[in-house]
Amino acid sequence: EAEVAQSPRYKITEKSQAVAFWCDPISGHATLYWYRQILGQGPELLVQFQDESVVDDSQLPKDRFSAERLKGVDSTLKIQPAELGDSAMYLCASSSGLEQYFGPGTRLTVT
């Protein structure tokens, strides 16, 4: 069964350090999403890609976050510098139609 892959699964970093997350969507899925989920809340969209183009990054804190999907397949989300408030689960999802499928997520802890 096709799945969204993410790495790493867990990341602990000190504040002010840089951190990067990787996502490989389900094969053939043109749309890729990065969400952030704080404990006790629902996921919130950070950025949406259609192929290699950004469709929506209105909620991405652009002073410290960046995202790219250079070849329209896998994607990287970067935070630099990390802050304590960035501690959360970072979720990648992909879709070919309306239904989105999530990867296992990356649990980030900033100390």
Partner 1 sequence: QKEVEQNSGPLSVPEGAIASLNCTYSDRGSQSFFWYRQYSGKSPELIMSIYSNGDKEDGRFTAQLNKASQYVSLLIRDSQPSDSATYLCAPSGAGRRALTFGSGTRLQVQP
Q: Does 23 bind partner 1 (CB under 8 A)?
A: no
Q: Does 41 bind partner 1 (CB under 8 A)?
A: yes
CB of 75 to partner 1, least distance (A): 15
> Considering beta carbons, is residue 20 or 89 the nearer one to partner 1?
89
The residue from 31, 66, 76, 87 that contacts partner 1 (CB under 8 A) is: 31
The residue from 19, 23, 67, 91 that contacts partner 1 (CB under 8 A) is: 91
SS3 content of the chain, % helix, strand, coil (to 5): 5, 50, 50
For 65, the 3-state DSSP assignment is strand
Residue 67 and residue 60 in contact, taking contact as beta carbons nearer than 8 Å? yes
What is the number of other CB atoms lying within 10 angstroms of the CB of residue 28?
A: 9
CB of 16 to partner 1, least distance (A): 27
Q: Does 30 bind partner 1 (CB under 8 A)?
A: no
Q: Does 105 bind partner 1 (CB under 8 A)?
A: yes
| CA angle centred on 79, ends 76 and 80, rounded to 5° | 130
